[in-house]
Amino acid sequence: MPKMKTHKGTKRRFKITGTGKLMRAKGLKSHLRRKKSKRSKRMFDRMIEVNPADVKRIKAKLPYGS
């Protein structure tokens, strides 16, 4: 049976931790940053966990991720 292909857009947007959690970056951080507070800009740098409702769909696109 041939290898399954990884979805490249998903590969770039999500990271899988050592314990198997799916992490994603926050949106709204690319432009219009001058009007945002320093604290909110710092918060955009952190990765957050993916909603449990979306995990199954995303992991299907990353067959060799975990």
Average pLDDT on 29-57 reads 92
The span from the CA of 23 to the CA of 14, in Å, is 6
The residues that bridge with 14 in the sheet, in sequence order, are 24
Contact between 28 and 45 under an 8 Å Cβ cutoff? The reply is no
pLDDT band at 27 (very low <50, low <70, confident <90, very high): confident
pLDDT at 54 > cutoff 70: yes
Residue 7 phi, psi dihedral angles, 5° rounding? -75, 115
Predicted TM-score (pTM) of the model is 0.79
Q: What is the pLDDT of residue 25?
A: 93
Domains, in order of start, for the chain: 8-61 (4.10.410.60)
Q: What is the pLDDT of residue 66?
A: 59
Longest alpha-carbon distance in the chain: 53
Q: What is the pLDDT of residue 49?
A: 96
